[in-house]
Every structure is written in structure tokens, then in C-alpha cells.
Structure 1
Amino acid sequence: MRADRLVSLVLLLRQHGRLSAAALARELEVSTRTVLRDVEALSAAGVPVYAERGRHGGFELLPGFQTELTGLNHDEALALLVAGSRRGAQAFGLGSALASAMRKVVDALPESYRATAAGAAQRLLIDPENDLLARRLVAEEVPDNMVTAVRRAVFAGHKLRIHYAAVDQTPKWRTVDPIGLVTVRDQGYLLATRSGADRTYRLSRILAAEELAEPAQRPDRVDLDRAWQERSTQFRTGGDQVTVLVRVNAARREDLLRTALAIRAEEPPDADGWLRLEVIFSDPRHAEWALWQLATSAEALAPQWLRTALRSRAAAIATCYGMSS
């Protein structure tokens, strides 16, 4: 890992010119003390890196220095394959590998192309951390060591032992046969089988993972897109689904349908521009959450337990804000 970091340090100096120890530490995700030790190691190895003192000082390479240390390692090559989504790389624990790979790709470009590409890249922004309303779009936190173990088992075709925390359940250890990894809207999933039955595990709920030496019981080839569609269909049609009769403002119809699993029936708008729909949710908690998001733009007409749950939630909020601060 240190060798990869030393290569990245050289490439950063080649591409950006002079950089401070603090800037290098941020890029490499290490301490400034580690950067100073790495610079000493490079100098001892004959790499012409020197320090410039002063307020605008930093480290720099002698002009004209060339390096051939641009070969991609396995994780960097893999990161490039999923680089169509930067957040996808993050979800699979490949964020740092992607950054390192891209530095090598830029360094391998001819000098004339490098400047053009760098300028063009400054004109593109993909998946910023905030939307136009300044709402931070936070990806799920998945520990690198855990997802690395999962990734290794998927690629090697070995069984995987995971400590999994299912919703409203005590975490348990399970041994599964990994099929593949999927990322959807910043959320990563492991597709697997357990005792021959299809299972889907959310990566953020895997507390620990251990690759086993035993071969996984799985087909040699897989169509992940088809497998995901099948799992999605099973999810929508199984479980504790509930049907809800809803009265909703026509302007919020699409918001309601984006959260529901399906629509069973719909009546034309009434004189006030409100619709009546029968929609399906995956379970009671899903139904309560979805209707709460619409506030006074929707009313659950049935079942009664849902009306009671929403009324109790609203009463608790009213009580909270009715108190003196």
C-alpha cells in the first residue's frame, strides 16, 4: 500500500506542480507526518523532489522529470470499470482506488492532451454532495475493510460469513453464497443465496464479513440485471403488504406514486382537484412514512389503523411545539 501511495504522490506533483504537505495529506488521506516520511523515501530512491520554503512553498519535482510508474493495479482497474458512477465506486469501497487510477490515467496522456483534458474536467460536475436546495446527499457509510472482504468473496467465488443486522432484529452471523454486488441511488447491496434461497443484503447493515475458503455454490455466469429485477419483483409482491385508500391533491399525485409499490385503482379528480387512489405499500411502516411525507396534501381514508397512527404522530408533534421553550 505504501508503494501505491508513493506513486500517487509523484503523480500528484507531476500533475499539479508545487503542493504543500497539507494538500498532499488531504489528497492521499494520510497525515502530514506520513507525507514528510514519504518525501524522504522518494528522495532516497533518487526521485528529484525538493522543498520550497515560504508562505507559498511546498514540494515540487525537477522540471522534465518523467516516470513510467503508471500501471494500474487490480482495484484501480476495477474502479475504472465502475467509474460511470463515482458514488457506485464509493459504495463498493473503491473510492480511493478510483482517485488513484484517474491520476495514473491523466499522467499517461500526452502532454498536449493532458492540459486539454484537465481544463475540460473543470467544466463538468457529476453527483455533487448537495442539491439545489442545499440538501446534503449523504451516501451510506460502509467500512472499507468489510466491503473489501465481501468484494473478494464475490470475485473469488468463495462462501462468505457475514454479521448482519436486519431491520428490527438482533444481528446474527450467516453463511451465504455471494452472487454479485449492486448499487442503487447510493445504496449498495449484496445478492446472494442462503441454503439455496435467494437473499439480498444491504451493505450498510453488514457489521462484519469474513471470506471463507470453501467454494460458493453458484452458477459460473450470472445476469445481474435480470437477477436484480427478479429480486425487486419478489420484494414488491411479498411481505406484509398493505392496501391504502388515499385522497390526494392532484399536484402531489406523482410524489405519492414514487413512494408506493403500485396503484390498484384511481378515480377522476373531484371539484376541488383531489384524487382518490388505492395504492399498495410494502408494509405498515412504509405506508405511514409515505403518507406523513405528504403532510396535508394527502389523507389516508382507510384502513383505520393508519389514520390513527398518523393522528397520533401529528398530536405528538403539536404537543412538542405547544410547549414553552
Structure 2
Amino acid sequence: MFFDQNETMRADRLVSLVLLLRQRGRMTADELASELEVSARTVLRDIEALSTAGVPVYAERGRHGGFSLLPGFRTELTGLNHDEALALLTAGSGRGEKVFGLSTALASAMRKVVDALPEGHRASLDDAAKRFLVEPETDLLSRRLVTEDVASGVMGVVRHAVLTGHKLRFHYAAPDKEPRWHTVDPIGLVTVRDRTYLLAAKSGEDRTYRLTRMLTAEELPELADRPAQVDLDRIWAERSAQFLSENHIPVLVRVKPARREELLSTARAVRAEEPEADGWVRLDVTFEDLRHAVWAIWQLDMAAEVLAPESLRAALRDRAEALAATYGTRQPRAE
């Protein structure tokens, strides 16, 4: 099995190497190694294997040398229509390429997509894909979007255990707790706003783990105890509802539409939303605790009004009164 998997991986790499040379022309061994995420020595062995198989790869010596294909050489790949190719190229241009640790596979797929296009469509599709921007690193207000990195090797192990249906063991660092080992039955992976979660069962109980908190992971030989069919949408909705009901403060608030996104960016989660007759938006959101809620609502000034709970209204009122007392009558001290 291990041998077959290695052979499949090498075959995919050889196809990617040919496509890189077709689409970019002359490339050095180091450039190819960087693209394929292997060593330069591996690239040289692959070049030799391609030449032996009859693929017309030739080397050019000198300062600006490298490897090239004979002009006109073309691999046989299934074609795509214009919209299918544009959809794939656009999807591959965003930050989603890192989802589930499949960036290398996506890059290889994109090369195959481009190579499968008719000659006359390549330039127009390349220009079209550049006119769509998916998930830039900052929003319209230049706030940088925070991404979380999964420990090296963890993503691949977890993904493989999910797909093969084997039990998974990992060292997990929950907030404010010492890292512990967990052995679980993996059910599926869900990515939300660049955060990836493992949905699993532990001793028959539902569990959800964030991959960025896994320090190491290993796939076990035992088969996982899980149903043959899975509905991740339903499971995620159920676990989200349970999560929102535990250890958070629910807040009912009215907000001006222009400040809605600002509020949502600070809230822990949104449970309900509906427009009001005066143009404002009523939101049922959750925050970590009372302190978090006071800080978030205070940023919105007069653009938001808390309807419940009364404890939050009282905390905001006390803060406003304290601020008014500070600036109401006393003159600033002269320098």
C-alpha cells in the first residue's frame, strides 16, 4: 500500500513537472524544486525518468540555462468549458488555497486546468481570473485579517484519518489548561473564517477541536466508531447552537446599518437578525462575558442601543455617568 501511494505521488509530480515546463518555458532545477516542494536532486531524477519515458525534456547549459520541453509538445488532458475553467481559476486565486492543507494539490490542479484550455482561451481566461479577488488579506478599512497556522504535519495526519476512518490521537492545548492527549473518532473537518475544526466523538460524546491547538497528531490503526453516512451541515448547526448556549452572554441590541459590520466583527456569534421599521437592525448576538460586551458596544457610541440584558445596560450606564462626571464640571489642569 505504501509503495502504491508513493508511486501515485510520483506520477502526479511528473505530470506537474511537465505542465510547469509547458506553461513557463525554461526553468532551473531549483525553481522546479521550489514549485514542487521537493529537493533539486529529486527534480533531476524526475527529469531523467521523463526522458527515459520519451518525454522530450532537454537541458540548456550556462548561466541562464535550465530545462525545457521541445516546442509543440502537449499532454492529453480533459478540456473544460469557459465558465468551469474560470470558476476553478478564480477559486484558486484566493486565500482558500490553504484550506485543509491542500495548497500543493490546488496548485497542481490549476496547472492542469490551464494546460487543458484551448490555446485561444488561455490569455482571456487569465485576464478574467485576475479581475476577481477572493478573500484579500485586509478588509475595506485596511484591517488585516488574522489567520491561524496549524502545526507542521498535523493537518495532513488529521485529514487522512478523517478520510480513511481511523481513530486519531493528538496532543491538544485547550485555553488556560495544560496540554492533554486525546483519542477520538474523527467525523469531519469544517473551515470557518480561516479556522479549521475537527468534528469528532470521544467515548460516544460529541467533541469539537480547533486544529491550531493541536501540537502533534497521529493516526491509529483501529477503525473509528462512526456512522457510514454523515451530514456535516446538520452536525455543525447542532454543535454551534450548543456552543452558543454555554459560557457566553447573549445580548439583544439595535444598531445602525452603517455600523452593523463593526458590531459583528467584535461579537462572538450571531443567533438572529431582523430589520426594524426605523431602518435600524436588531441583532441577537453573544459575547465572551460582560466585560467583552461593554467594550464592544461602547465602541459604537450612539449608533447602538442594548435592549437586554439589564446587567449590560446598567454597566454601560455606569460607565457613561463616570465619563460625564470626569468631563462635566472640572476644568483641565493647566500646564
In structure 2, the CA distance between the partners of 1:115 and 1:278, relative to structure 1 (3 Å rule), is closer
Q: Which of 236, 242, 262 pairs up with 2:249?
A: 242
In structure 2, the CA distance between the partners of 1:263 and 1:126, relative to structure 1 (3 Å rule), is closer
Deviations 1:195-231 (A, max 9, x none): 2221111111111221122222222111111111111
Stretch of structure 1 that moved more, 285-294 or 85-94: 285-294
Unaligned runs of at least 5 residues, structure 1: 71-79, 312-325
Q: Which of 283, 287, 292 pairs up with 1:281?
A: 287
- Which SS does the other structure have where 1:4 is aligned? helix
Deviations 1:144-191 (A, max 9, x none): 521111111111222211211112211111111111111111111111
Stretch of structure 1 that moved more, 86-95 or 238-247: 238-247
- The residue identity in structure 1 corresponding to 2:249 is V
CA RMSD in angstroms, aligned pairs only:
4.4
Does the 8 Å CA contact 2:185/2:202 hold for their aligned counterparts? yes
TM-score (norm 1): 0.70
Q: Which of 284, 292, 296 pairs up with 1:290?
A: 296
Query: Aligned equivalents of 1:293 and 1:39: distance in 2?
Result: 60
Q: How does 1:147-166 map to 2 (within 5 A)?
A: 147-166=155-174
Name the residue aligned to 2:219: 211
- Which SS does the other structure have where 2:153 is aligned? helix
Name the residue aligned to 2:189: 181
Does the 8 Å CA contact 2:270/2:283 hold for their aligned counterparts? no
Query: Aligned equivalents of 1:37 and 1:289: distance in 2?
Result: 60
Does the 8 Å CA contact 1:93/1:143 hold for their aligned counterparts? no
Q: How does 1:110-189 map to 2 (within 5 A)?
A: 110-143=118-151, 145-189=153-197
- The residue identity in structure 2 corresponding to 1:104 is K
Query: Aligned equivalents of 1:225 and 1:234: distance in 2?
Result: 14
Give the C-alpha shift of residue 242 in structure 1.
2.6
Give the C-alpha shift of residue 92 in structure 1.
0.4
Query: Aligned equivalents of 2:206 and 2:40: distance in 1?
Result: 47
Deviations 1:100-153 (A, max 9, x none): 122123223344444443343333332233434444434321245211111111
Name the residue aligned to 1:61: 69
Give the C-alpha shift of residue 26 in structure 1.
4.2
Q: How does 1:9-24 map to 2 (within 5 A)?
A: 9-20=17-28, 23-24=31-32
Name the residue aligned to 2:6: none
Q: Does 1:229 align with 2:262?
A: no
Stretch of structure 1 that moved more, 224-233 or 117-126: 117-126
Query: Aligned equivalents of 2:283 and 2:72: distance in 1?
Result: 70
Does the 8 Å CA contact 2:101/2:156 hold for their aligned counterparts? yes
Does the 8 Å CA contact 1:239/1:282 hold for their aligned counterparts? no
- Which SS does the other structure have where 2:229 is aligned? coil
Total equivalences in the alignment: 297
Name the residue aligned to 2:5: none
| Matched-pair identity in % | 65
Deviations 1:259-295 (A, max 9, x none): 164589xx999xxxx9999964243565366347658
Query: Aligned equivalents of 2:219 and 2:106: distance in 1?
Result: 23
Q: Which of 263, 274, 285 pairs up with 1:256?
A: 263
- Which SS does the other structure have where 1:92 is aligned? helix
Stretch of structure 1 that moved more, 280-289 or 148-157: 280-289
Query: Aligned equivalents of 1:172 and 1:249: distance in 2?
Result: 45
- Which SS does the other structure have where 1:160 is aligned? strand
Does the 8 Å CA contact 1:177/1:192 hold for their aligned counterparts? yes
Stretch of structure 1 that moved more, 108-117 or 291-300: 291-300
Unaligned runs of at least 5 residues, structure 2: 1-8, 79-87, 321-335
Give the C-alpha shift of residue 97 in structure 1.
0.6
Name the residue aligned to 1:201: 209
Give the C-alpha shift of residue 58 in structure 1.
4.4
Give the C-alpha shift of residue 28 in structure 1.
2.7
Name the residue aligned to 2:331: none
Query: Aligned equivalents of 2:291 and 2:65: distance in 1?
Result: 57
Q: Does 1:27 align with 2:35?
A: yes
In structure 2, the CA distance between the partners of 1:99 and 1:242, relative to structure 1 (3 Å rule), is same
Name the residue aligned to 2:108: 100
- The residue identity in structure 2 corresponding to 1:256 is L
